[in-house]
């Protein structure tokens, strides 16, 4: 009988580069930097690693295909290295591979590393989607953009819950203000500028109602984790972090079919969260979670995720946002490191970057951003669009 | 036919088409004749838009075409000021999602409807459309 992943694997070392515009570095430099921080943190040697999982999303750009970019960059000694890709949730997929490899008993120590180098592609958002969504999906809608599809979620949400455009946009603005406030305190964040609600509301529109500050950008960066058997963890450090749940859910495509899906939530998040809470033994997430790092590719994504994670009631996230529930001093701080919005979004590294912040916070090493006595953190890593996507949810604790 | 010809009819779809060859290429011939078509599984009744040639519900391949007719309810919409690669020249344009009950249709709003004219919940119809450059697409227009 299956028993889930809870408390079988520990994270004993993590590394994360500064995210941003690394014109002077290649993906190899970023990979090495994240790796050295992770093994130094864990107190292990390269030779201690028995298997590795590598994530990168836009493989033709800079990084290259297969697992070779990782094994050759680090000169890993002919060990098994697996390449994974699952859109923007790729980084969590690498962590899942390493954690499951160790949980299976096949390995004692494994590495997960994600890297992406996008800024020198010359494109402002993501590079061309045509080859990503595949033949059939492209028939749906050739002129669709990622901001546009999430913007439709915002308009639909405002309409369903009777928010005026002004009320809705202001609620979203508070989300971006919170991320910028946290990101400004993070030396590794891509964007380190505090902003006001008025800045958000006055910004140029990308896809109505979403403006510039409602959208995250893309970045260059890499992040890494060293995981080991839970019963070995204290041999390496006194403050290991334990994996409590690691779930991935992928759309079946039915959101656009017979279902009642109305575009105001992400079905995959609700289902994956339920499985993750069950695996971790969490009954009331609003009471039990200490902090969250969610996939704020757009401000509206963060808002509906509060509800999809069953932290806020349906239609009530706005009240929690206004009361500061998700601010660093609030009940469940969200995006303490600045999130995708400010820390940045090098696609294949983002899931691991989220866990990096949870890991540091749980160890009390988050410096100026430290949350008071956190015990349980959640990462939510989403790839794709509201109507078809991959969602990965990880929960870690001490 | 000595050599199998490449059936690339989807090249005619949209301002720019990124669609590779699919078994549902007749979609384009219907579109050229003014009809926007989805597909229905003859075995289990599942309905698909965009059309599929294989049913993901019962995993059989006995499909029939049906025409997207009547009005759908506007589920949501957004006006794009920045577009994906290939669509920069069309900006700004409005994207939308229509709910037909059994299925939903993504598309673009007819150019004669402005952002102010739109409201979630209003009824619109799906129409085949020929673009000035001869490409084919479909748009959402007033009933």
pLDDT in tens, A299-310: 999 999 999 999
Say what the pLDDT of residue B45 is.
95
- Greater pLDDT, A164 or B87: A164
B3 part of a folded domain: no
- Chain A residues in contact with B47 by the CB 8 A cut-off are 257-258
Give the SS3 label for residue A102. Answer: helix
- Residue B66 distance to chain A (closest CA, Å): 15
> In chain A, whose CA is at the least distance from the CA of B121?
A159
User: How many interchain CB pairs under 8 A, A with B?
Assistant: 129
Shared domain for B127 and B98, answered yes or no, is yes
Shared domain for B76 and B61, answered yes or no, is no
**H-helix or E-strand spanning residue A198:** helix A197-202
B121 part of a folded domain: yes
Say what the pLDDT of residue A312 is.
98
Summarize chain B as % helix, strand, coil (round to 5).
10, 35, 55
- Give the whole-angstrom CA distance, residue A180 versus residue A195: 6
Structural domain for B55, as ranges: 9-67
CATH architecture of residue range(s) A9-121+220-224: 3-Layer(aba) Sandwich (3.40)
> In chain A, whose CA is at the least distance from the CA of B57?
A254
Domain count, chain B: 2
> Which of A16, A22, A57, A88 is flagged as catalytic?
A88
Shared domain for B78 and B136, answered yes or no, is yes
Which of B81, B85, B86 lies closest to A206 in CB terms? Answer: B81
Render each residue's pLDDT in chain A as its tens digit; 398 residues: 888 999 999 999 999 999 999 999 999 999 999 999 999 999 999 999 999 999 999 877 789 899 999 999 999 999 999 999 999 999 999 999 999 999 999 999 999 999 999 888 776 666 655 455 555 445 556 678 889 999 999 999 999 999 999 999 999 999 999 999 999 999 999 999 999 999 999 999 999 999 999 999 899 999 999 999 999 999 999 999 999 999 999 998 888 776 788 999 999 999 999 999 999 999 999 999 999 999 999 999 999 999 999 999 999 999 999 999 999 999 999 999 999 999 999 999 999 999 999 999 999 999 999 999 999 999 999 999 998 899 999 999 99
ω before A209 within 30° of 0 (cis)? yes
B1 part of a folded domain: no
Shared domain for B61 and B80, answered yes or no, is no
Beta-bridge partners for A158: none
Average pLDDT over every residue of B97-125: 94
- Chain A residues in contact with B90 by the CB 8 A cut-off are 143
Say what the pLDDT of residue B1 is.
39
B21 part of a folded domain: yes
Shared domain for B19 and B56, answered yes or no, is yes
Q: List the structure tokens of A21.
A: 């515009």
- Residue B19 distance to chain A (closest CA, Å): 5
Q: What is the mean pLDDT of chain A?
A: 94
B54 part of a folded domain: yes
Shared domain for B54 and B41, answered yes or no, is yes
Shared domain for B39 and B83, answered yes or no, is no
Q: Which residues 110-149 of A have a C-beta within 8 angstroms of B?
A: 123-125, 128-131, 135-136, 138-145, 147-149
How many beta carbons lie within 10 A of that of residue A332, not counting itself?
Answer: 24
- A259 touching chain B per CB within 8 A: no
Q: List the structure tokens of A141.
A: 């809608």
Q: For residue A320, report the phi and psi dihedrals to the nearest 5 degrees.
A: -65, -40
Residue A88 known to be catalytic: yes
- Residue at which a domain ends, from B67, B87, B113: B67
Among A139, A215, A385, most B C-beta atoms within 10 A, so best to mutate, is A139
Shared domain for B85 and B50, answered yes or no, is no
B4 part of a folded domain: no
B2 part of a folded domain: no
- Chain A residues in contact with B121 by the CB 8 A cut-off are 159
Contact yes or no for A254/A154 (Cβ under 8 A):
no
For B7-64, the pLDDT digits (tens) are: 888 888 887 776 767 788 899 999 999 999 999 999 999 999 888 889 999 999 999 9
> Which of A22, A295, A345, A380 is flagged as catalytic?
A345
Which of B24, B52, B76 lies closest to A152 in CB terms? Answer: B76
Shared domain for B58 and B88, answered yes or no, is no
Say what the pLDDT of residue A128 is.
59
Shared domain for B94 and B60, answered yes or no, is no
Q: List the structure tokens of B123.
A: 């009824």
Which of A138, A148, A262 lies closest to B78 in CB terms? Answer: A148
Shared domain for B47 and B75, answered yes or no, is no
- A20 to A14, A36, A116, A191, A345: CA distances (angstroms): 19, 19, 11, 8, 8
Shared domain for B86 and B122, answered yes or no, is yes
B105 part of a folded domain: yes
């Amino acid at each position: 009988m299956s028993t889930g992943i809870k408390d079988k694997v520990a994270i004993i070392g993590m590394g994360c580069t500064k995210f941003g515009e690394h014109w002077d570095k290649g993906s190899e430099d970023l990979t090495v930097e994240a790796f050295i921080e992770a093994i130094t943190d864990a107190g292990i040697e390269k030779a201690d690693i028995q298997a590795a999982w590598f994530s990168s999303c836009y493989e033709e750009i800079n990084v290259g295909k297969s697992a070779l970019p990782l094994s050759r960059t680090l000169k890993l000694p002919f060990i098994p290295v697996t390449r994974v890709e699952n859109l923007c949730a790729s980084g969590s997929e690498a962590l899942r591979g390493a954690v499951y490899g160790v949980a299976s008993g096949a390995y004692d120590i494994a590495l997960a590393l994600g890297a992406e180098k996008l800024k020198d592609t010359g494109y402002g958002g993501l590079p061309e989607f045509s080859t990503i969504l595949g033949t059939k999906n492209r028939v749906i809608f050739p002129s669709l953009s990622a901001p546009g599809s999430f913007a439709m979620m915002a308009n639909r949400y405002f309409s369903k819950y009777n928010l005026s455009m002004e009320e809705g946009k202001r609620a979203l603005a508070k989300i971006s203000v919170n991320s910028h406030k946290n990101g400004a305190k993070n030396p590794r964040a891509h964007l380190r500028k505090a902003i006001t609600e008025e800045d958000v509301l006055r910004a140029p529109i990308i896809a109505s109602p979403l403006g510039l500050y409602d959208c995250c950008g893309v970045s260059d960066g890499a992040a890494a984790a060293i995981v080991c058997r839970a019963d070995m963890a204290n041999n390496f450090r006194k403050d290991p972090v334990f994996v409590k749940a690691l779930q991935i859910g992928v759309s079946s495509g039915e959101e656009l079919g017979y279902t009642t899906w109305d575009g105001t939530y992400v079905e995959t998040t609700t289902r994956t969260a339920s499985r993750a809470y069950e695996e971790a033994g969490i009954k009331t997430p609003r009471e039990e979670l200490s902090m969250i790092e969610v996939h704020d590719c757009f401000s509206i994504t963060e808002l509906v995720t509060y509800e999809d994670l069953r932290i806020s009631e349906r239609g009530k996230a706005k009240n929690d946002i206004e009361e500061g529930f998700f601010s660093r001093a609030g009940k469940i701080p969200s995006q303490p490191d600045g999130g995708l919005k400010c820390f940045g979004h090098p696609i294949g590294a983002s899931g691991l970057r989220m866990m990096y912040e949870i890991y540091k916070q749980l160890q009390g090493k988050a410096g100026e951003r430290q949350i008071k006595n956190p015990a349980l953190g959640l990462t939510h890593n989403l790839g794709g669009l509201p109507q078809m996507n991959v969602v990965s949810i990880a929960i870690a604790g001490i | 036919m000595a050599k199998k010809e490449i059936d690339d009819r989807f090249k005619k779809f949209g301002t720019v088409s990124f669609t590779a060859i699919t078994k549902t290429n007749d979609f384009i011939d219907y579109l050229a004749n003014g009809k926007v078509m989805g597909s229905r599984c003859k075995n289990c009744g599942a309905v698909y838009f965009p059309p599929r040639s294989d049913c993901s519900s019962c995993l059989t391949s006995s499909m029939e075409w049906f025409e997207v007719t009547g009005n759908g309810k506007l589920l949501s919409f957004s006006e794009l000021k920045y577009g994906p690669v290939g669509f920069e020249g069309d900006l700004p344009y409005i994207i939308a999602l229509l709910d037909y009950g059994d299925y939903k249709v993504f598309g673009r709003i007819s150019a004669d409807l402005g952002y102010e004219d739109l409201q979630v919940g209003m009824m619109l119809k799906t129409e085949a459309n020929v673009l000035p450059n001869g490409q084919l697409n479909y748009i959402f227009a007033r009933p």
